[in-house]
Structure 1
Amino acid sequence: MNRWKDDLKLVKDVKLEKVRSTACTKEVVVKWFAHLKDVLTTHNLFNRPDAIWNVDESGFTDDPGRKQVVVTRSNKHPTSSHSGSGKSHTTVLICASAIGECLPPYLIHRGVRLYDIWCPKTGFPGTRYNVSPTGWVEEPIFFDWFSRQFLPAIKSIKRPHTTTILQPLDLVTLTKVKTME
């Protein structure tokens, strides 16, 4: 290292997420919220937090990563990419509504066959498990989550303009109150 001290340096690596944060400019945030407002307006969701859901995924690997990396002296944002040791990679899909209702997690293990040992019976109730060659969320995996976990969970959400039929208090009790006016 001493031989290259004018050209190289030993520094702590930075998680990729920190580098991504530099791409989050005020303009990007303003544009995103403008788009969100359009979507909420178009679908009449401003007063429907029960109908607003967010899904996200996070991957876990058996590789803890390195503590330091060697970079050129001109490198201002050293990063490292961790692909794991190849032994395991698991992704978890989580989903929650704007009112705080959470769906059970959906775990995707790396493999071609789902082993019983990966699916504990004493885990979080309702958790679903699947496998993919990479352990990542791929289109068929997301479709399985969407059709078998998400859609059944939101069946109970009352659609706009259906309260007369779907909410008995509105149909019976409040109708009588309204006729007293």
Structure 2
Amino acid sequence: MPSRNHLDKIGRKKKKKWSEEAMERALMEVKSGRCTVRQAAREFSVPKSSLGDRVSGRVTPGSRSGPAQLITSADEKFLVEFSLYMSKHGFPLTKQQLMSFASSIYKRQHRRVAFSKLGQTWWLNFRKRQEKNIRIQPADNVVRGRTVCVRKEAVDQFFHLLSNIVDARGLRNKPHQIFNCSETGFQLGRKRLILSKPASLGYKPAPGSRDHISVLACFSAAGEDIPPFIIYSKAYPGGVCYKTQGPPNAFYGWSDSGFINSDLFKKWFLKHFIPRAPKERPLLLIFDGHKSPVNLEVVESARKEDIILLCFPPHCSHILQPLDAGLFLVLKQRLASMLGDTWTSDTHFAVSKKEFSCVFKGTYQVVREEEGVRIVQDGFRKCGLYPLDHFTISEGHLMPQNSIISASAGSSLCTSVHETHSVGDLTAAVSTS
């Protein structure tokens, strides 16, 4: 990061006191032979050296002075549009995220460059150039923990945004074009043993006896599903049986944690959701983007395919996620029943990593039955997403407006840390609808 003295020097640089129009007139006089470079510079009040550079061809007339812009004006305009789109749809960007996306654009143009040249100086210049289009504001300091309660203003804002989108895009009576995707986890391993105290002191679980698998499910408000995305932790199981014996047309991936991340979400969206989604447009996809933040490719593809991405407010999934409202509970109960166990909130399913997809295939059949379709539809209705009804959310879940809680937020898209900002859309002149 550049030193403060270096940044101060940038601010103290002399501002250009001549206009391009004056420079162009002076250049015409010199080229016509009516004046020398010195005479034209004095007459039109432009720097002699700058005029000489244009006469000799070292500088192209009309070009900006100084070092070349790291990102072209067209790409910078796209970056602003992308930031405004994200803000409007519930994904306000932090400074770090915006610079990460800018670095991605830079690397597209300079594929042989091993690292990005974008730094604090670029950020300060970008803010200055785009001060009329975006506003930088501190992130919210209110506690976002669901164990306390959910902020009323956040839920109100979400439903206001959802209502505007549904009405503007004609989705009020099109449940098959409104989708929700959500992730649930399964802890694998043998059943817990109840041992006497002396024995338990020496008991150690066998290495690798537990594992984690998560499933990303996606359903429309009409109860129609996109085949599940099964995510393994650390690596795929050996062989191909986990694919051939799993749910029909299921998608597979892995991550170190066994949970979805930005790269896996991009893979799922581009290679699985878009090919299998209905052909009618527009589509609305609602999800918790704070757990799996989207990237440039996802937003570009969504806008090209006329798919609207909408993010739930932070830590509101327990009251707004339709799939959390019933379907996931039924799936876990059925899985435990198939394994001859009773499901509780801390159940470890006694099934191996290789066997999981085969067992889950039988469990997932519930979504093909009338009961499963009804459960999904009830989930959308309970959460007020379809039919759209803000008043289904109980006041007991909400934090009174203007409540003040002095604590810092955890890690989210708008992390409340010093020098972290969110990019908001207040004075946007660029349309992103």
**Which category of TM-score, normalised to the shorter sequence, fits these structures?**
0.5 to 0.7
Match of 2:181 among 39, 44, 55: 55
AA of the residue aligned to 1:124? P
Question: What TM-score, normalized by structure 1, do the two folds share?
Answer: 0.57
- Structure 2 residue ranges without an equivalent (≥5): 1-144, 193-207, 284-433
What is the rounded CA distance, in whole Å, between the counterparts of 1:128 and 1:116 in structure 2? 16
Equivalent residue number for residue 248 of structure 2: 125
Instruction: Find the residue that maps to 1:105 and give its secondary structure.
Output: strand
Instruction: Give the C-alpha shift of residue 58 in structure 1.
Output: 1.0
Instruction: Find the residue that maps to 2:146 and give its secondary structure.
Output: helix
Instruction: Give the C-alpha shift of residue 87 in structure 1.
Output: 4.0
AA of the residue aligned to 1:91? S
What is the rounded CA distance, in whole Å, between the counterparts of 1:101 and 1:28 in structure 2? 29
Query: Residue deviations 1:153-173, cap 9 Å, x none?
Result: 12522569xxxxxxxxxxxxx
From the superposition, tell whether residues 51 and 21 of structure 1 become closer, same or farther in structure 2 (CA, over 3 Å).
farther
Equivalent residue number for residue 156 of structure 2: 30
What is the rounded CA distance, in whole Å, between the counterparts of 2:182 and 2:224 in structure 1? 14
Equivalent residue number for residue 42 of structure 1: 168
Task: Quote the sequence identity (%).
Answer: 28
What is the rounded CA distance, in whole Å, between the counterparts of 1:87 and 1:111 in structure 2? 12
Match of 1:136 among 243, 259, 265: 259
CA contact (8 A) 2:169 2:282 kept: no
Give the structure with the larger strand fraction.
1
What is the rounded CA distance, in whole Å, between the counterparts of 1:89 and 1:50 in structure 2? 32
Equivalent residue number for residue 106 of structure 1: 229
Instruction: Give the C-alpha shift of residue 28 in structure 1.
Output: 3.8
CA contact (8 A) 1:110 1:136 kept: yes
What is the rounded CA distance, in whole Å, between the counterparts of 2:173 and 2:223 in structure 1? 15
CA contact (8 A) 1:53 1:95 kept: yes
From the superposition, tell whether residues 134 and 118 of structure 1 become closer, same or farther in structure 2 (CA, over 3 Å).
farther
Instruction: Give the C-alpha shift of residue 62 in structure 1.
Output: 3.5
What is the rounded CA distance, in whole Å, between the counterparts of 2:229 and 2:167 in structure 1? 30
Instruction: Find the residue that maps to 1:56 and give its secondary structure.
Output: strand
CA contact (8 A) 1:119 1:129 kept: no
Q: Which has the higher contact order (CA 8 A, sep 6+)?
A: 2
Instruction: Find the residue that maps to 1:34 and give its secondary structure.
Output: helix
What is the rounded CA distance, in whole Å, between the counterparts of 1:23 and 1:122 in structure 2? 42
Instruction: Give the C-alpha shift of residue 120 in structure 1.
Output: 4.6
What is the rounded CA distance, in whole Å, between the counterparts of 1:28 and 1:109 in structure 2? 33
Question: 1:61-76 to 2 correspondence within 5 Å?
Answer: 61-62=187-188
AA of the residue aligned to 2:264? I
Deviates more, 1:118-127 or 1:97-106: 118-127
From the superposition, tell whether residues 136 and 123 of structure 1 become closer, same or farther in structure 2 (CA, over 3 Å).
same
Instruction: Give the C-alpha shift of residue 112 in structure 1.
Output: 3.5
Equivalent residue number for residue 154 of structure 1: 277
1:20 counterpart = 2:143: no
Q: Alpha carbon RMSD of aligned pairs, Å?
A: 2.9
Paired residue total: 123
Query: Residue deviations 1:40-92, cap 9 Å, x none?
Result: 23333222222111000012223789xxxxxxxxxxxxxxxxxxx89411110
Question: What TM-score, normalized by structure 2, do the two folds share?
Answer: 0.26
Instruction: Give the C-alpha shift of residue 21 in structure 1.
Output: 5.4
Instruction: Find the residue that maps to 2:227 and give its secondary structure.
Output: coil
